[in-house]
Amino acid sequence: MSTLAAIMQLLVAAAFVSIPVVRHRFGPAAKPAAVAELRRQHFRPEVLGRIGAGPTTQRACVPDAARQAGLSKHALGRSPGSGGR
């Protein structure tokens, strides 16, 4: 049983160790992809900086998830007259 616990702990540790590696590998393409996704969902790209997903943070920007969390359209930076979903 302790072997199983040790294996599980190593797997969790590996997940945390992989975060900087993945960020280093895929980080440069992440910002343009996030901006493109924001535009596709009719949000202004500036919203990335306002919600703390700028170049100095490591948070992902997922407008749909933010909307589900109860944030208003105004708080997310929806452009006036942009239509909407």
Q: What is the pLDDT of residues 20-78, one digit of tens each?
A: 888 888 888 888 888 899 899 988 888 777 766 655 444 444 555 555 555 555 555 55
Query: Cα(56)–Cα(73) distance, rounded to whole angstroms?
Result: 24
Query: Are 78 and 43 in contact, with CB atoms under 8 Å apart?
Result: yes
User: What pLDDT does residue 66 have?
Assistant: 56
In a domain, 36, yes or no: yes
In a domain, 84, yes or no: no
Total number of domains in the chain: 1
In a domain, 68, yes or no: yes
Lookup: tokens for 63: 């407008």
> 41-65 burial string, b = 16+ CB within 10 Å, else e?
bebebebbeebebeeeeeeebebee
pLDDT reading at 3 higher than 70: yes
pLDDT reading at 4 higher than 90: yes
In a domain, 48, yes or no: yes
User: What pLDDT does residue 74 have?
Assistant: 53
**Domain span including residue 40:** 2-76
